[in-house]
Every structure is written in C-alpha cells, then in structure tokens.
Amino acid sequence: MVNRQIVSMSSTTSSSDQKKPTSTSPGAASVEFNRNSTSPVALSHIDTGNNAKINSATPTYQRSASSIYNLIHSTSKDYTHTNKPILPSLSSNFNNNNNNNNLNRSHSSILPYTNNNITHHTTFPIISNAQRSIPKLEETDSPPKENIIPSTARRNTQEQLAKQIAEKHVDKPIADYAKIVKDAELKVMNIDPNSNPKSTLQSAEQDREKQRQIYALIWLMKNCQSKHDSYVPRGRIFAQYAASCAQNSLKPLSQASLGKLIRTVFPDLTTRRLGMRGQSKYHYCGLRLMDDTSDNVGINPINDSKLNDKKINTKNFDDQTYEQEPVMKKIKLEDAMDDKLQKIQKTDDLTKELPFLENLFNEIFNNKQTLNDDYQLDLPRIDIEKLPSSIDKDIISSLESLYFIHCNTIFQNVKFFKFDYLSTNNLFLFHPNGLISPQMYNLFISEELYDWIHKCDLITHISIIKFLSNFIINFNRENELIISKLESFIHAYQDQILKSTIDLPVPILTSKLQISKNFTTIIKKLLKLLKFIVRFISSFESFKDGMKKDWEQIVNLDDILEMVTTEKNSEVLMKIKEFVKQNTLTLLNNDSFSLVDIIINTLNFISNSRNFMAQTMIDSYVRFTNTLIGDISLKNSENLLPWLFFNNVTVQLINYSFEITKFVNEIE
C-alpha cells in the first residue's frame, strides 16, 4: 500500500502573498507556471518521510482544495499505514512531456496539465527518483473490465429467443399458447409475497412477461404477412391483437412493445403517415393483415377513397396530443351531483317495491362459474350506432378490448387477494399517459360511452360480490383469515378509485364513486355476517342442549304472532312464523351441526316469497324474531348469547341479500 500525499493548489498566486517554495530534495528542478493560466501554479513542500506534513506557509484555501481533490481520488483501500507515495516522479513526467502530456488519474493524485502552462521562471520542488521508489503498476493491478452487455443488445437477444420459441408454436392453435400465458399469470397471482422470497415472485413475473411476448409473436406470425405493395394502419394491428388478448383474458403488451416485436418478425417494413391532411394516420408499409376485409393492396393511400371519405374528427381524435377538447358536453359539477341525487331518490323509491332476487342461492351464493380459473366477465359491447360515424373503428375496437381486460383484471386481483395491484391497474388505464392512446382516451371520456362504462363497472363488481359470497356457504376456520384482508381492502378501496379517476369527466367520476360506495356497503355487510357466523359456530355446541330446552319450554310462536300481527302484514307474518319454526327445528334436532342448511333454507325462503316486497319481508322478519329473542331473555337468560348470534346470522343474511338485490337491479 502507498501513502497518499496532500497536494495544495491554487488558481492564481501573488508574489507578495506567497513565498516561493524551496526544494530540500537532491536533484530538485525549478519550474514556473504561467500566472495568467487557470492551472495550478504552486505545490506545497512534499516530504517523503514518515512524518510528512503540509507546509505551514500553505494558505488555508489551498489545503481545502487539496482535501477536496484528495477525496475525489480516494479509494476504498486504506493508504494511511505506508510511507510509499503514489505520486510519480515529476521530473520524469516533465522530461517526457512531448510523449505524454496528461497524467493518468488512476496512478496519480494530481490534476492533468499541458505544456502550455509551464514556463522557466518559478521554482518548483521536485522529489528525486531515489526518494520516490514507486513500484511499477502492472496491468493486472487495475480493476478488471467486466464484459457488460448493453441493455439494448440484451433486450434484442431476448426478443430473438422469444421469436425462436414462437416459431415452434406457430402451427398450433393460438388458444393453446394462451393457456400457457394464463398459467404464468395465475402462478404470479397465487404467490403470497409474505410467505415467499422476493426472488420467487420476480422470477414468476419475468416468466409471465416472456410468455406474453411469445403470445404476441405467435399472433403476429399467424395474422400478418410481409407484402411489399401492401399497407395497414398501425392502430388496426393493435386493435386486433388486443381483441385476441381480451378473448383469452390476457393483458396485452403496450403499443410500443408490440411495435418492437413487429419489427422483430418483419425487419424490412417501413412506417409512413398516409392519407389526406387532417385525416392521415400511421401505416405499416410492406405488411398485410391476413383477415383484413379492407383491400389495402396496391392502392395509393393519398387517393384512397376509403380513407379520404372517412371524415375523422381530428379535433377530438388527433393522433398526437391530449390537448384537444374532450368529446363531451360541458357539465357543471353541481348539476351532475343534483342529477345523481335525483336518480338516487328515484332508486330508493323503487327499492321499496322490489322483491328479492329469484334463486338467490344458486345465482349469488353458490355461483360456481366465478370459481373457475378461466372465468371471464360477460360485458356489453360498445354501441357503435350511438357514436359519430367519423370515429375510427380500430380505435373503438381497441378501447373496447382494453376496457374488457381492465375489468377482468380487477376481478382477478380481488379473486386472488392481490389488492395492491388494484391501484396500478386503475392508473394504467385512466391516466392520460397510461396504456391507452390519446385517441382512445378521448373516446373513453366521451358522453356517448357513459352508460357503457357504468354497465361494465356494475357487472365487474357484481361478479366480485358473487365470488366473495361463496365464502358464506363454504365457510371454515381457514377462511377466518380473509376477514382482516377484506377489511383492509374495503377501507382503502374508495380512496383508490377516487385517486385513479380524479381526472375523468364528472359524470364518469360520479358513477364510479357511487358504484364503489354501494360495493363497499355490501362488502361491509358481508364481513359483519361472516363475523356473526364465526361467533355462532364457536358457541353453539356448548349451548345446544340449553337452546333446545328453551325452545320446548319457553317459546310460544302463536303468542308472538298475536303480538306483532297487523292488518297489513298478517299474511307475511304467518309465512315467517312457519319458516322460523322449521328452520330452528332443523338447527336443534340434527345430530351433525351444519349452518349451511340454515343459510340455504333462509335464502330459498326469501327467494320464493317474491309476492312480498323485500323491504316488507325484512321489516316483518326482524319484528317477529326480535320479539322471540326478547321473550327468551325475560324467562331465561342463560342461553341468550347463542340465541342472539343465531338471530343475527339470519337477519344479517337477509339484509345482505337485499343489498345485493338492489345492486343487481341497477343494471336493469
């Protein structure tokens, strides 16, 4: 190891302020720096002994500059315990100025300088070569140069490898490889980051992106063909690719990523902007879509009537910027909120006359379709008849596919409890710099699509409710863990929606917030129901005999019916009395306890009572059962707790079913 000496430098030196240093070393040479130069003009005295010190005459600012420079050239090695200086012989460098003017910074701690800064008037202390016995640095002493592959080259290599894999699958149905991509996506979804190392998740995510690339390459090879006299709009290729992804419930690559893969498969194609001024758009020249119905072969786009006759509203759907005025009416926030409040009031009036859904058990609580890995949301198509004829059909198709994927991704994230992904998925679509293009974004916020967006959002959240409702029927001790996770999710969900949609038009924003609010209310009722189920299951076996004794000796359903009956609700109360009797006997007389039977009986009872309004059924049932529990509490309070839990399970189940009924009927 060598000792790093401190070198003091200054940009200008006055003869009156600074004494010229003298050399105490044998063989010292005298060198003067040009005073008008910006290069260093003086160095402090250098002692090669073990007790080397900075000359006391050296100004403070010189020592400071030297310290800063010393830090710049310091290394991780410790040079403080050696007397070998790292400076090369100055005389040898001056003698070889014609051959090498600049000092190598890796072997020296002084700044490089040139011959132009050297004159013969100022003395300069030079340390002799004898005193500077510096070991010659071999090439092996320098840090080894790593063979770093540039990121661009590495990316191109990955694309070529993906292309080779795609070529092996190009003759097979693309749906077969879609299953491989889906499996890679499900693998990521099934990894719990809390119980698996980070590398496992990263490896799975990398494999998923690789499979998406291969799927895109296979699609390009199957659907595109190189043809020198053909051209195809760039957006049309992405529209059809996105439609294929939506059909297979796969998240597509971005348009930029797909464009790179297109050039990997077809390296000789060119991109040009074709069409009349104000109506032009980018085309791939030398490429043809095999199933494209439009005849784009051998036609000059400048004179193509099929392009020129389509009068695209460039004010709203320009290819370049987001600065256009959105295709929507100017609606004030106050007017939109008043409108919404009026609609809510009308909805509340209608719900009073709303019966429970038919076949609640199979449609909501035992919906096995939502449990399948390949389940897709049944979403409506965009009604093209409501849109101006000038809008590019490729833009409509791309937006439709991307929003389908967006909704399915939300469902999948909740299904696999990947709640952290929800904010990312929302932002990637709604933000102007997200996955969708400027033209698609302007179409998305147009007034004509408000109803379509509302229906898609409703269907998405209804499907989530159907999936989560399965936990009521299939409840077990392991499912208790989902309660805390759902509570955290629902607590932050409305804020996530607000943050991701804040820049959208007021009607869309209001619709999304209202749906999220109703959805949050329903999930809160679901969580409350699950908690009562947990409490009842944990206490029932200990109190079963006492409850059975209470039922036989205390309860008199005829007396309760007489106390609560009025002229308006007599018929429904008679039905409720018979149902409570049968349901309670099922609970108390079965040797093997099964709360599922109680839940199924309750759901079938309210679904089959559609001749009564749901609100009337709820009010009458609560009135009857509360009177029953009150009667038990007055005569014997020992078994009151399980009776309360049992009553709360059935009441919360009916209330939960009513909220779902209202939510589902919003579509109609």
Tell me the per-residue pLDDT of 615-657, one tens digit each, with 9 for 90 and over: 999 999 999 999 999 999 988 778 899 999 999 999 999 999 9
Tell me: do 551 and 519 sit in the same domain: no
CA angle (253, 259, 260) in 5-degree steps: 95
The yes-or-no verdict on residue 336 having pLDDT over 90 is no
Q: Give residue for tokens 């509490």.
A: 633
Residues 300 and 191 in one domain: yes
Q: Are residues 133 and 160 in the same domain?
A: no
240, 252 Cβ separation under 8 angstroms: no
Residue at which a domain ends, from 308, 341, 370: 308
Residue whose tokens read 């070998």:
84
Across 258-267, 421-430, 594-603, least confident range: 421-430
Contact between residue 428 and residue 326 where contact means Cβ atoms under 8 Å apart: no
pLDDT tens-digit readout, 447-479: 999 999 999 999 999 999 999 999 998 876 666
Given a cut of 50, whether residue 158 has pLDDT beyond it is yes
The pLDDT of residue 443:
92
My answer on whether 27 and 96 are in the same domain is: yes
Q: How many domains does the chain have?
A: 4
With beta carbons less than 8 A apart as the criterion, state whether 35 and 114 touch.
no
Positive or negative CA dihedral for 111, 117, 118, 123? negative
DSSP 58-121: S-HHHHHHHHHHHHHT--SS--TT---B-PPPHHHHHHTTTT--SPPGGG-SS----GGGEESS
Backbone angles phi, psi at 297, to 5 degrees: -100, 125
Distance CA(589)–CA(577), nearest Å, equals 18
- Contact (Cβ atoms closer than 8 angstroms) between residue 245 and residue 200: no
Mean pLDDT of 357-380: 91
74 pLDDT more than 60: no
| 339 confidence band (pLDDT: 50, 70, 90) | low
Rama region for 440: left / alpha / beta (φ>0; ψ in -120 to 50; rest) = alpha
Structure confidence at residue 576 as a pLDDT band (50, 70, 90): very high
496, pLDDT greater than 70: yes
517 has a pLDDT exceeding 80: yes
Task: Name the strand (E) or helix (H) holding 271.
Answer: strand 270-274
Nearest to 269 by CA among 251, 286, 244, 252: 286
Give CA–CA dist 400/242, Å, rounded: 9
Q: How confident is the model at residue 431 (pLDDT cuts 50, 70, 90)?
A: low
pLDDT value for 591: 78
* Residues 341 and 459 reside in one and the same domain: yes
Domain ranges, residue 299: 151-308
Domain boundary among 144, 171, 189: 144
What tokens were used for 635?
A: 């005569």
pLDDT of residue 595: 86
- The radius of gyration computed from the CA coordinates of the chain, to the nearest angstrom, equals 40
Average pLDDT, the chain: 74
Which of 252-266, 493-507, 509-523 is the most confident on average? 509-523
User: Domain for residue 513, yes or no?
Assistant: yes
For residues 551 and 582, the answer to whether their CB atoms sit within 8 Å is: no
- Are residues 220 and 139 both part of a single domain? no
Q: Find the mean pLDDT for residues 284-302.
A: 62
Shared domain for 88 and 165, answered yes or no, is no
* Any domain includes 535: no
* pLDDT of residue 281 exceeding 50: yes
C-alpha distances out from residue 348 to 198, 342, 615, Å = 49, 10, 11
Contact 439, 396 (CB under 8 A): no
pLDDT at site 349: 54
CA dihedral 343, 349, 350, 356 (to 10 degrees): 130
Tell me what the mean pLDDT of segment 125-143 comes to.
45
- Only one residue has tokens 């980018």, namely 282
Structure confidence at residue 27 as a pLDDT band (50, 70, 90): very low
Give yes or no for residue 385 having a pLDDT over 70. yes
Q: Are 126 and 85 in contact (CB under 8 A)?
A: no
State the CB neighbour count (10 A cutoff) for residue 642. 20
Q: Indicate whether 523 belongs to any domain.
A: yes
374 and 523 together in one domain: yes
Of 356, 463, 480, 482, which Cα lies nearest the Cα of 411? 463
Q: How many CB atoms lie within 10 A of CB 286?
A: 17
* Tens-place pLDDT, residues 42-62: 433 434 444 444 444 444 444
How far are the Cα atoms of 7, 107, 135, 425 from residue 1, in angstroms, in the given order? 19, 13, 10, 56
Residue 239 lies in a domain: yes
Residue 89: inside a domain, yes or no? yes
Both tokens assigned to 561: 């019916």
319 in any annotated domain: no
Rounded (5°) CA angle 643-598-567: 75
The single residue listed with the structure tokens 């919906």 is: 367
Strands 270-274 and 118-119: unpaired
Query: How far is residue 585 from each of residues 127, 363, 544, 546, 551, measured CA to CA in Å?
Result: 108, 27, 12, 14, 9
| Same domain for 576 and 492 | no
Enter the tokens of residue 621: 């049932």
Q: Are residues 289 and 346 in the same domain?
A: no
Rounded to an integer, what is the distance from CA 164 to the centroid of its chain? 30
Residue 180 in 3-state DSSP?
helix
pLDDT(502) > 70:
yes
Last residue of a domain, one of 478, 494, 529: 529
Question: Which residue, chain included where needed, has tokens 């640095």?
Answer: 137
Q: Does residue 436 sit within a domain?
A: yes
pLDDT > 50? residue 273: yes
Lowest mean pLDDT segment, chosen from 39-53, 185-199, 345-359, 370-384: 39-53
Does residue 380 sit in the same domain as residue 523? yes
Res 159: pLDDT: 82
Query: What token pair was written down for 161?
Result: 């490898």
For residues 71 and 192, state if they share a domain.
no
* Residues 6+ away with beta carbon under 8 Å from 146: none
Distance of CA 386 to the CA centre of its chain: 32
Q: Which of 590, 608, 473 is nearest to 541 (CA)?
A: 590
